Structure 1
């Protein structure tokens, strides 16, 4: 059985050994809504496909064109088994209803560290995905960059009150870091970016170290709204 939930995923769930993120380009807000509704129907009319799949969540990009997918797997073999037995029928049904979807990329990650506030029960109104790409694979550099960001966050003299949490993931290929950042609202994130400094941080030496970190090839920042959560029933 598959059940729908409005709850956001728990990014710190210790059962999740293989968090995956992928992006679709669908083109318009109408097709975003249509694709999300089709995913819901496709999954809800079928049994939950794998005990190793702990949750599947879909987010609509504020750009009006993209969908972000976050699946929480116990391990990678559970995903590989799903691909062999259950994935294609779901893909075919969605593509029939919403033709022309561009599946940009599926990235495999491991959560490294999170920054949250104890007892904070606020529900994110906006999820901000920050992706940083490095020039070459280097797991040690991935960890060092995240450590530098968290040190800057911990010493931030003017933390924005709209920030809820940040969850840093390292791609298994050693190339990328993904920060799944939870914010009260999109406007709170926009206001934080507009404050003095480069990005959401103040103009401190620790943030300067992050901004000038060696080996960074590029970065992107995208805002999303959680539109669908699916869990085993």
Structure 2
């Protein structure tokens, strides 16, 4: 039995060794809500897996995407769950979600935290932007992530409404999950429409060899955490 969780995960928690991003694309807001409800219900119904720390669910503000973010203690525990079969493993969770509404499921993205940039430790985010990127080389992926963190730190003034950015890398290092927290949607929109003009940000813009994957502004929908030890 799982325990209800506050809507946002702690990305940099020390006991998390690996994370999994799940993605479902739906026909519209009604199906989106059905899939999001099914995600939370599915995880609540299956036996809580050993090593799973928390699962959080997000819905995109444009109404077409549901994302889940799983945090695991390590890769061995994740592999055990993925191979547990159709009653207690990922197959059981996916089957419950698929029954809720017509949605396109994408292959889960397995990743681990590379580094983070915290711009505002006091404000509470209400919007999360989740984006993936594909790079030609793992070295470029790490350098690009590092350059953004450096650009944040070098700004004369913090980006209005920007709270944090977290960069997670795939096992081969060529894919990046950029998970960023914002005060609200308007803050992120303002950041894109009025880009910061500093040498550090111009260096970020100069990177080549990357492909921008799907990105969505999201709202937290709910979450579950591991049961308390007795």
Q: TM-score, normalised by structure 1?
A: 0.88
Q: CA deviation at 1:34?
A: 1.1
SS of the aligned residue for 2:144 comes to helix
Q: CA deviation at 1:3?
A: 2.1
Contact in 2 for aligned 1:2/1:46 (Cα 8 Å): no
- Structural mapping, 1:123-162, within 5 Å: 123-134=124-135, 136=136, 138-162=137-161
Give the corresponding residue for 1:91: 94
Contact in 2 for aligned 1:61/1:67 (Cα 8 Å): yes
Give the corresponding residue for 1:116: 118
Give the corresponding residue for 2:207: 213
Runs of 4+ in 1 over 4 A off after TM superposition: none
Going from structure 1 to structure 2, the CA distance change for 1:105 and 1:87 (only over 3 Å counts) comes to closer
Q: CA deviation at 1:66?
A: 0.6
Deviates more, 1:213-222 or 1:146-155: 213-222
CA RMSD of aligned residues (A): 1.8
Match for residue 225 of structure 2 among 220, 223, 231? 231
- Structure 1: give runs of 5+ residues left out of the alignment: none
**Equivalents in 1 of 2:188, 2:226: separation in Å?**
32
Confirm or deny that 1:101 pairs with 2:103: yes
Contact in 2 for aligned 1:52/1:78 (Cα 8 Å): yes
**Equivalents in 1 of 2:113, 2:34: separation in Å?**
31
Question: 1:177-233 CA distances to partner (integer Å, 9 max, x unpaired)?
Answer: 2211000111111122222x3xxxx12222111111132233553201110211122
Give the corresponding residue for 1:40: 40
Q: TM-score, normalised by structure 2?
A: 0.89
Contact in 1 for aligned 2:7/2:221 (Cα 8 Å): no
SS of the aligned residue for 1:97 comes to coil
Q: CA deviation at 1:117?
A: 4.6
**Equivalents in 2 of 1:149, 1:225: separation in Å?**
23
SS of the aligned residue for 2:39 comes to helix
> How many residues end up aligned between the 2 structures?
223
Question: 1:32-58 CA distances to partner (integer Å, 9 max, x unpaired)?
Answer: 11112122223323431x221111111
SS of the aligned residue for 2:155 comes to coil
Contact in 1 for aligned 2:28/2:64 (Cα 8 Å): yes
